[in-house]
């Protein structure tokens, strides 16, 4: 019996799945857990599902090879399991995974070349890679090496520039400044050991609160000194 590894998300009870109705094979749609882009479609039998759970890497039943097949077993482009959900009829699997390299055999991110995804989430993954690897010559590397205070100063500057563009410049200027602000904010979050997903989770939590409670939380977070007053010492005395 294959021992199970720890996964982040849910995993279905195999006994609750409609194996008989699907002739022993269930379609498994693989989705990037971070960008939400659909990566590929495969099929799982009971053993492939068990192996996926045990190895923590997405494994299918290959109908052409008539055997189990772990995605990336020859290329190294494996799919690290995050979790699996089932549809309402329990006859289709949605597999959330983090790819290590291109998923498609044509060296593309997805087997569906135009599959939509969350670009900000893709950028967040790239920023995390930069923070971990620190490649020479990278602007993002220079930001990380300058420290949290300098990055925070940069976020403050970009925020002011975005606000000024909103009241005094055209739409393209505002979009450009907004893009700069979003990027530098992602770097700041990552420098603090956080990610864009953590900020999104905070928004999601606030969205689910009763209207009055959500409004109070926003008021509490913005009470006290004005933004300019709180940022003034930082902007005047940045540390490299």
Q: Above 60 in pLDDT, residue 143?
A: yes
Q: Above 70 in pLDDT, residue 119?
A: yes
Q: Above 70 in pLDDT, residue 122?
A: yes
Q: Note the pLDDT tens digit of each residue in 57-83.
A: 999 999 998 999 999 999 999 999 999
Place 164 in a pLDDT band, splitting at 50, 70 and 90: very high
CATH number of the domain located at residue range(s) 119-236 in this protein:
1.10.287.1080
**10, 83 in Cβ contact below 8 A?**
yes
Residue 203 backbone phi and psi in degrees, to 5 = -60, -40
Which CATH number is correct for 14-99, 3.40.1180.10, 3.10.20.810, 3.40.50.11260, 2.40.50.140?
Answer: 3.10.20.810
* 140: Cβ contacts below 8 Å, ≥ 6 apart: 127, 130, 131, 187
Strands (E), 33-102: 38-44, 59-62, 67-70, 79-86, 93-99
Q: Above 80 in pLDDT, residue 222?
A: no
Q: Note the pLDDT tens digit of each residue in 16-39.
A: 999 988 789 999 999 999 999 999
Residues 182, 187: Cα–Cα separation, whole Å: 9
The position carrying tokens 């995974």 is 97
Sign of the alpha-carbon dihedral angle for 54, 58, 59, 61: positive
Q: 88-100 burial, b if ≥16 CB within 10 A, otherwise e? A: eebbbbebbbebe
Least reliable range by pLDDT among 67-81, 103-117, 124-138, 199-213? 199-213
Sign of the alpha-carbon dihedral angle for 153, 155, 161, 164: negative
Q: Where are the domains of the chain?
A: 14-99, 119-236
Residue 49 tokens read as 């599902």
Q: Note the pLDDT tens digit of each residue in 226-235.
A: 555 555 555 5
What is the pLDDT, as a whole number, of residue 239?
Answer: 43
Q: Do domains 14-99 and 119-236 have the same CATH topology?
A: no
């Amino acid at each position: 019996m294959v021992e199970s590894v720890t996964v982040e998300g849910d995993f279905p009870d195999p006994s609750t799945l409609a194996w008989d109705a699907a002739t022993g094979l269930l379609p498994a749609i693989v989705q990037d857990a971070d960008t939400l882009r659909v990566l590929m479609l495969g099929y799982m039998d009971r053993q492939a599902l068990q192996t996926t759970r045990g190895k923590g890497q997405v494994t299918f039943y290959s109908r052409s090879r008539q055997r189990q097949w772990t995605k990336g077993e020859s290329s190294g482009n494996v799919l690290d399991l995050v979790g699996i959900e089932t549809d309402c009829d329990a006859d289709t699997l949605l597999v959330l995974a983090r790819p290590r390299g291109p998923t498609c055999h044509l060296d593309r991110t997805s087997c569906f070349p135009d599959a939509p995804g969350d670009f900000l989430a893709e950028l967040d993954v790239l920023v995390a890679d930069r923070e971990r690897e620190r490649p020479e010559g990278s602007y993002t590397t220079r930001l990380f090496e300058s420290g949290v205070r300098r990055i925070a100063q940069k976020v403050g500057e970009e925020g002011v520039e975005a606000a000024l563009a909103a009241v005094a410049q055209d739409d393209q200027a505002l979009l450009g400044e907004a893009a700069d602000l979003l990027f530098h904010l992602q770097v700041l979050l990552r420098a603090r050991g956080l990610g864009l997903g953590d900020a999104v989770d905070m928004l999601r939590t606030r969205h689910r609160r009763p209207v009055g409670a959500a409004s109070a939380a926003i008021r509490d977070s913005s009470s006290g000194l004005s933004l300019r007053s709180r940022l003034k010492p930082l902007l005047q005395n940045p540390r490299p």
